[in-house]
Structures are given as structure tokens and as C-alpha cells.
Homo-oligomer: A and B are copies of this chain.
Amino acid sequence: MEKLHALCGRPPVEIRLWDGASVGPSTEKGAIEIRDRSALFRLLRQPEVAFGDLYSSGRLTVHGDLTQVLYLLMDAMGRRAGDTPRLLRWLWKDRGPRGSNEAAARGNIQHHYDLGNDFYSLWLDRAAMQYTCAYFESPDHTLEQAQLAKLEHVCRKLRLEPGQTVIEAGCGWGGLARYMARQYGVRVRAYNISREQLAFAREKAQEEGLQDRVEYIEDDYRNISGRCDRFVSVGMLEHVGPRNYRALAQVMRRSLHPEGLGLIHTIGRNRPAPLNGWTQKRIFPGAYVPSVAELMQLFEEGPFSVLDVENLRLHYARTLDHWLARFRAHRTEVVHRYDEAFARAWELYLAASSATFRSSGLQLFQVVFAPAGNNTLPNDRRDLYCQPAAPKDA
């Protein structure tokens, strides 16, 4: 027990056992309760996966604020990274994938995104159904404001102009594509392999009368065809895997006009590491989060010039806090539709993700790039910030 606490870097969190034993300071900050002996053994053997599974089934509970307790745990573990005994490191080693072929990609994406539009509608923003990091120009902005601000920020970085053609790889429920077409008068071809999402996206485009400017295409990014002035991908790279970066770079290369611009928005890391085992197994099969140097390999494959990288890590923590609060507000419906374990798993996933961004275990990078040799570049970034906030009407 004492050893377990030390292995975790002695977080200021109490760890309690089923028999009343405990270790760590007893403060109001929170406590982790392990409720039976075999749960403890599972936790020691395969900590990442077991923590999630045991939490979901209720055999491990957290007292106090879930996100905050997880943050304290991660922060402490982050400080002692590297001191893990060798046997444990081997036992805990990631053996996950580094890329997936088209068929696997389809399965992986369906696992997560085809849970149902109704499910995501419960807790995502009502403005644009964005399941990616928002941009909080002010900490007291609503999730809706922050998601629209994200879309606007992406559009400005792309320096969109009316009449341009845009290819979007991995368009989710199509919110960005519609925003670009509506606010900037561009024509968008948006790719996705989640059928559920595409049905929603097409319906919305129809409702908004944008069907002649936005085309939603059910296909893999590897099959993207045609040329464009702008290439954009928000939150897809996490599902691509470094083994496929060359293939994606080739797609970007052949699609993008020599005087074009592109933007990749992706979760990243300070240094290479596998995705948390439980998230990999239960939430995002096939996902891989690149380190910042791994991410740059994508652009070196082009070759593209990296023009601008912005890290929005704390914006993602805040986004996740909003999602978790809304998820909890609809908890009864979720339990009714799925079950208690499902609800607990998703609460853990959202809280743990927030805590990971806050403890710097994950970063959020927006990268603007251009084909090497494009000399029609923006001179600086003043236009991202010092233009009137309201986008021009198409």
C-alpha cells in the first residue's frame, strides 16, 4: 500500500482499502477507494486498464471532485516519471497499434462515433456539435460561444476568401464545413467514414440551404480526390497513426494548390508515449496521439513549411469540464439508454481527459502549413486578432 502510494509519486490524495486500511493524507481534496482485494491486484497488474474498468463497475470509487482527484494523481505521477521499477514498466508497456488500415479504421471510428447522434447531442454544444477543443476568448464564455470562436479562429488561420475550394478530412457532424461555407462563402468537400455523423451533417446542410456549397463524402482520407485552395482537418489525426502520416501527407500534397494553405488541429504530446491503455481499449480503439516532433514528421513528408503552431492545452481542459458538466446533467437519460457502467466509464473518460490536459500529459496543437515555396504567405498573424470579430457575410 505504502509502495503503491510511492509509485504514484505520493499524490495529496488518500487511498483507502475495503478493510479500512489507508495511505496518503486524509484531506478534503479527495480519496480513492479500492473496494475488494482482487480489484487491488488487478490494479497492480495492469493499472491503466484496470483503473478504468474498476471505476466503471464501481469496484473503485473516487470521493471528492473526480477531475481534481485525477489531476492530483497525474500531476504527482508526472513528476516521478521514469522511476517506475523495470518489471512494472515491462508489465505496463503499451503494445497498441501505430496506425490502421481502412477496414480497421472504419471499425474503430464506428465503435466511438456511431454511438448515436442523440447521445452526443446531450452534452456537446448546441451551436455546431463540435467534439474537439473549443477556444475560450474569455473564461466565462459559454461552450457555444467558445466552439463558434474555435471555428472562426480556424477560418482566420486559413485566411479563407470567398469562392475558394476547401477539402476537410474528418468532418465530424459537419459543423466546420457549414460554418466555412456560410460565413466565408467557400465551397467545401468534407470527408468522413462515420455514417451516423454524415447523415446528421447532410440534414443540417439541407436545412441551412448550404447543400450546393457543402458536399459530404463518405470515404477514407486516403481516397480524397480533387484539388483545393485550403486543406483542413480538425481532430482526425489522432485516428490516423504515425505509420500513415506519409500517406496523409501525400494526400495533402496532391490536393493542395502550390499557393494554398492548410491547417491540422490535433491532440499531441510533449514527448512520445502510448495512449492511456484503458482509453485505447474501451473508448478510442486505434487512436494514437503524436508527440510534437512526430507531428512535425507529417509536414516533413510533404514537404510543407510549418507556418504557425499554437498550443491550446488549457482550452481543452476547459472544454472537457463543460462536456462533463452537461453529461452529468443528462446522466439519468444516459443510464436509462445504456447502463450505470457506461455512464461511469464516460464520466471517467471526460474527467480524466480534462485532468490530463491540465497536468500537461496532453497538448492541443493547431498547425498552419503551406506547400514549400509558397511565397504568397500572410506577413504576420495580426489579422487573426485585430480584425472585427464578426465574420464577413458571403
- List A residues at the B interface (Cβ < 8 Å): 75, 78, 135-137, 139, 270-272, 291-297, 299-300, 302-311, 313-315, 358-360, 363, 365, 372-375, 377, 379-382, 384-386
Contacts and interface: CB of A to CB of B under 8 A. Distances in A.
Interface SS of chain A: helix, strand, loop or mixed?
Answer: mixed
Copy number in this complex?
2
A377 B300 contact: no
A306 B313 CA distance: 10
Contacts of A291: 296, 300
Given A270-B300, A292-B299, A363-B305, A78 B372 contact: yes
Contact of A311 (B292, B305, B314): B305
A270 B292 contact: no
Contact of A296 (B296, B302, B380): B296
Contact of A379 (B136, B293, B302, B306): B136
Contacts of A381: 310, 381, 384-385
A139 B272 CA distance: 40
A190 to B, nearest CB: 27
Contact of A293 (B78, B297, B373): B297
A300 B293 CA distance: 8
Contacts of A135: 380
Nearest to A74: B373
A372 B270 contact: yes
A389 B10 CA distance: 47
B270 A137 contact: no
Nearest to A270: B303
A135 to B, nearest CB: 8
A321 to B, nearest CB: 14
Contact of A314 (B297, B306, B309, B377): B377
Contact of A302 (B137, B270, B299, B311): B270
A266 B392 CA distance: 37
A315 B307 CA distance: 13
25 contacts: A75-B373, A135-B380, A136-B379, A137-B382, A270-B302, A270-B303, A270-B304, A270-B305, A270-B306, A270-B372, A271-B303, A291-B296, A292-B296, A292-B300, A292-B306, A293-B294, A293-B297, A293-B300, A306-B311, A306-B363, A306-B365, A308-B309, A314-B379, A360-B372, A360-B375
